[in-house]
């Protein structure tokens, strides 16, 4: 048996001299990537990482982070990437739940992560910084570049990505070699990626979008990427003429549309702009088209499923829709409660099935079972409709979720932290339309009787416990939360009341 996913990346052998990643002055060829990932894979083995073991990684974006991903695949380990914004408090849960055989973190966090690892009985962390330096690279540098890839089949685990849950604890979505490989093949073909492409990569690499959609599609096509540490409009406009494709969350595109540098000439070298992770406003789509002549291609995915639907490469890219189910993937609209199929043209729960769909949540068989129908369809939690031409639109969420700048935030997690603060009786966290982030987190708080806590004190209490991006942008105080007859907080009413709060 060979290594299933690596078999899809022949460029590592066959396109040795081609640049894989350009990052500033550095150019890492496919041959370099093969050698360096081989050294890191040898290090994983030397550290005792066995097939199926988890490698937890919380580091800034770097080329070496991607080589570490490849090394995990080659060594048969499962990569567990973590958002750099997570606090040590948040990290403790992930490490305790996943029990990684190896931990890699930024050097500035080494002491804190080591203390956590000691407490949990896990190995001490290795370090990797944004320049690719640290104990991981130093130790791997002394090892041989040759590595025989560990045999792995299509159903073996390749990665675990944690997604927050509507009912509390984060769940680790287990993705197999074939989940990743099938989606990479499909996206390469659907979006016409070839070895001639150069992808401008400004996304973070700890989530599915920047990691798998961008990098696996590049690897399977044998094409190149220009790596930016983050989205920075100056860098993006400077490098657009050197790229042929770009992937982004809607915030990238709203920022570009608001920038006078976005012109036909600026975008002339690009053949494809892709958007996803959150809804792209039809208005942004239209403005971008008017300014550049490019119709942004919107697609829809999830951590658990990789990409499910996409607007077409040829043919109409319809604003406000997420296009058609990708080849080999089935999508249907069902009654959110009973699961019965909805009549054509009605709104219901989007359910999907295909080789892209994950195998389950790490050590949570009940939660896994609850999110699949008996015929194998995964219940996405997104409400949608399929029109007469087959275009899927997402019209809402059946799950209480806020998406801010492409990051998912589950209100329940923020509410439980706020409710635990002295001086708070209860809270409701909502997403409010925001011109830059799509939605921004707002907390509606009821003070405990006889207390006078303010918004600043609430934010201060959350610091260190919740990542900054999850913290409310604004705190509003009310005497009581609106409730329906079942005593459930009416979040829709709160969202409606506060919808103009951030209006531009």
| Residue among 220 and 403 whose Cβ is closer to ligand AMP | 403
Residues 28/20, Cβ–Cβ less than 8 Å: yes
Q: Which does 469 bind (CB under 5 to 8 A by kind): ligand AMP, ligand MCA, none?
A: ligand MCA
Per-residue binder mask for ligand AMP (CB under 6 A), 290-329, x = binder: --------x-xxxx------------------x-------
| Other Cβ atoms within 10 Å of 290 Cβ, number | 9
Task: Answer yes or no whether residue 472 interacts with ligand AMP by CB under 6 A.
Answer: no
Task: Answer yes or no whether residue 310 interacts with ligand MCA by CB under 6 A.
Answer: no
Q: Which of 286, 285, 313, 300 is nearest to 386 (CA)?
A: 300
What are the two backbone dihedrals, phi and then psi, of residue 255, each rounded to the nearest 5 degrees?
A: -65, -40
- From the list 114-122, 178-186, 216-224, 404-412, the region that binds ligand MCA by CB under 6 A is 404-412
| Residue among 22 and 380 whose Cβ is closer to ligand AMP | 380
What are the two backbone dihedrals, phi and then psi, of residue 459, each rounded to the nearest 5 degrees?
A: -60, -45
Could you give the count of Cα atoms lying within 13 Å of 234 in the half-sphere of its Cβ?
1
Task: Answer yes or no whether residue 237 interacts with ligand MCA by CB under 6 A.
Answer: no
Per-residue binder mask for ligand AMP (CB under 6 A), 195-224, x = binder: -------------x----------------
Q: Is 345 exposed, middle or buried (0-12, 13-18, 19+ CB in 10 A)?
A: exposed
Q: Which does 397 bind (CB under 5 to 8 A by kind): ligand AMP, ligand MCA, none?
A: ligand AMP
Of residues 131 through 170, those in contact with ligand MCA by CB under 6 A are none
Alpha-carbon distances, residue 210 vs 84, 204, 331, 411 (angstroms): 14, 6, 24, 24
Task: Answer yes or no whether residue 276 interacts with ligand AMP by CB under 6 A.
Answer: yes
In sequence order, the 6+-apart residues with CB closer than 8 A to the CB of 12 are: 6, 30, 31, 33, 34, 37, 70, 219
- Starting at the edge strand found earlier in the chain, the sheet holding 424-434 runs 424-434, 438-447, 474-478
How far is 140 from 402, CA to CA, in rounded Å?
Answer: 40
Task: Answer yes or no whether residue 247 interacts with ligand AMP by CB under 6 A.
Answer: no
Task: Answer yes or no whether residue 394 interacts with ligand AMP by CB under 6 A.
Answer: yes
Q: Which does 251 bind (CB under 5 to 8 A by kind): ligand MCA, ligand AMP, none?
A: ligand MCA
Residues 498/442, Cβ–Cβ less than 8 Å: yes
Alpha helix locations (H) across 309-419? 365-370, 411-419
Task: Answer yes or no whether residue 231 interacts with ligand MCA by CB under 6 A.
Answer: yes
| Residue among 199 and 322 whose Cβ is closer to ligand AMP | 322
Q: Which does 405 bind (CB under 5 to 8 A by kind): ligand MCA, ligand AMP, none?
A: ligand MCA
How far is 328 from 415, CA to CA, in rounded Å?
Answer: 39
Task: Answer yes or no whether residue 210 interacts with ligand MCA by CB under 6 A.
Answer: yes
Q: How many residues bind ligand AMP (CB under 6 A)?
A: 19
**Please, what is the minimum distance in Å from the beta carbon of residue 300 to ligand MCA?**
6
Q: Identify the H or E element spanning 300.
A: strand 297-302
| Residue among 42 and 251 whose Cβ is closer to ligand AMP | 251
| Residue among 279, 360, 405, 411 that touches ligand AMP (CB under 6 A) | 279
| Residue among 132 and 210 whose Cβ is closer to ligand AMP | 210
Q: Which does 197 bind (CB under 5 to 8 A by kind): ligand AMP, ligand MCA, none?
A: none
Q: Which of 96, 59, 56 is nearest to 72 (CA)?
A: 56
Is the alpha carbon torsion for 347, 353, 356, 358 positive or negative? positive
* Residue linked to tokens 């790490």: 362
| Residue among 408, 412, 448, 469 that touches ligand AMP (CB under 6 A) | 408
**Please, what is the minimum distance in Å from the beta carbon of residue 380 to ligand AMP?**
6
Tokens (6 digits) for 51? 């097939």
Tokens (6 digits) for 165? 């849950």
| Residue among 277, 311, 356, 368 that touches ligand AMP (CB under 6 A) | 277
Task: Answer yes or no whether residue 163 interacts with ligand AMP by CB under 6 A.
Answer: yes
Task: Answer yes or no whether residue 318 interacts with ligand MCA by CB under 6 A.
Answer: no
| Residue among 47 and 287 whose Cβ is closer to ligand AMP | 287
| Residue among 254 and 427 whose Cβ is closer to ligand MCA | 254
**Please, what is the minimum distance in Å from the beta carbon of residue 409 to ligand MCA?**
8
CA dihedral 154, 155, 156, 160 (to 10 degrees): 110
Closest residue to ligand AMP, based on beta-carbon distance: 303
| Residue among 163 and 179 whose Cβ is closer to ligand AMP | 163
**Please, what is the minimum distance in Å from the beta carbon of residue 440 to ligand MCA?**
7
CA angle 177, 145, 175 (to 5 degrees): 15
HEC per residue, 229-247: CCCCHHHHHHHHHHCCEEE
Could you list the residues that contact ligand AMP (CB under 6 A)? Answer: 163, 208, 276-279, 298, 300-303, 322, 380-382, 394, 397, 403, 408
By the criterion CB under 6 A, which residues form the site for ligand MCA? 203-204, 207-210, 230-231, 249, 251, 276-277, 301-303, 404-407, 437, 468-469
């Amino acid at each position: 048996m060979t290594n299933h996913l690596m078999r899809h990346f022949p460029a590592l052998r066959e396109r040795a001299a081609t640049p894989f990643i350009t990052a500033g002055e550095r150019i890492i060829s496919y041959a370099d990537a093969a050698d360096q990932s081989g050294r890191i894979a040898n290090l994983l083995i030397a550290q005792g990482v066995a097939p199926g073991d988890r490698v937890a990684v919380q580091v800034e974006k770097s080329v070496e982070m991607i080589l570490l991903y490849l090394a995990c695949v080659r060594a048969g380990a499962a990569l567990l990437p973590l958002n750099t914004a997570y606090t040590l408090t948040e990290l403790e849960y992930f490490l305790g739940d996943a029990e990684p055989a190896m931990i890699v973190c930024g050097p500035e966090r080494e002491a804190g992560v080591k203390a956590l690892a000691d407490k949990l009985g896990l190995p001490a962390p290795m370090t990797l910084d944004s320049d690719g330096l640290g104990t991981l690279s130093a130790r791997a540098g002394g090892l041989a570049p040759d590595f025989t890839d560990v045999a792995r089949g299509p159903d073996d685990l390749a990665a675990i990505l944690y997604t927050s849950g509507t009912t509390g604890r984060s769940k680790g979505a287990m993705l197999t070699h074939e989940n990743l490989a099938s989606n990479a093949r499909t996206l390469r073909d659907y979006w016409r990626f070839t070895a001639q492409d150069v992808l401008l990569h400004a996304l973070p690499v700890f989530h599915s979008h920047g990691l798998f959609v961008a990098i696996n599609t590049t690897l399977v096509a044998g094409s190149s990427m220009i790596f930016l540490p983050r989205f920075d409009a100056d860098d993006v406009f400077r490098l657009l003429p050197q790229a042929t494709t770009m992937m982004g969350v809607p915030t990238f595109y709203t920022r570009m549309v608001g920038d006078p540098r976005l012109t036909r000439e600026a975008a002339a070298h690009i053949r494809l702009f892709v958007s996803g992770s959150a809804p792209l406003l039809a208005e942004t789509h239209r403005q971008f088209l008017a300014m550049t002549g490019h119709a942004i291609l919107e697609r829809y995915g999830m951590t658990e499923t990789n990409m499910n639907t996409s607007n077409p490469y040829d043919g109409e890219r319809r604003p406000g829709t997420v296009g058609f189910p990708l080849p080999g993937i089935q999508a249907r609209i069902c009654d959110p409660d009973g699961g019965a199929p909805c009549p054509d043209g009605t709104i219901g729960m989007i359910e999907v099935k295909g080789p892209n769909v994950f195998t389950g949540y790490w050590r949570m068989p009940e939660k896994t079972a609850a999110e699949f129908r008996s015929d194998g369809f995964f219940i996405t939690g997104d409400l949608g409709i399929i029109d007469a031409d087959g275009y899927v639109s997402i019209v809402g969420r059946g799950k209480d979720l806020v998406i801010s700048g492409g990051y998912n935030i589950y209100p329940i997690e923020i509410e439980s932290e706020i409710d635990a603060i002295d001086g708070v009786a209860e809270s409701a966290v909502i997403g409010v339309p925001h011109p830059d982030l799509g939605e921004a987190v707002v907390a509606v708080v009821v003070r405990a009787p006889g207390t006078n806590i303010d918004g600043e004190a609430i934010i201060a209490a959350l610091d260190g416990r919740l990542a900054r991006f999850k913290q409310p942008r604004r705190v509003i105080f009310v005497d009581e939360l609106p409730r329906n007859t079942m005593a459930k907080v009416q979040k829709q009413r709160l969202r409606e009341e506060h919808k103009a709060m951030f209006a531009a």
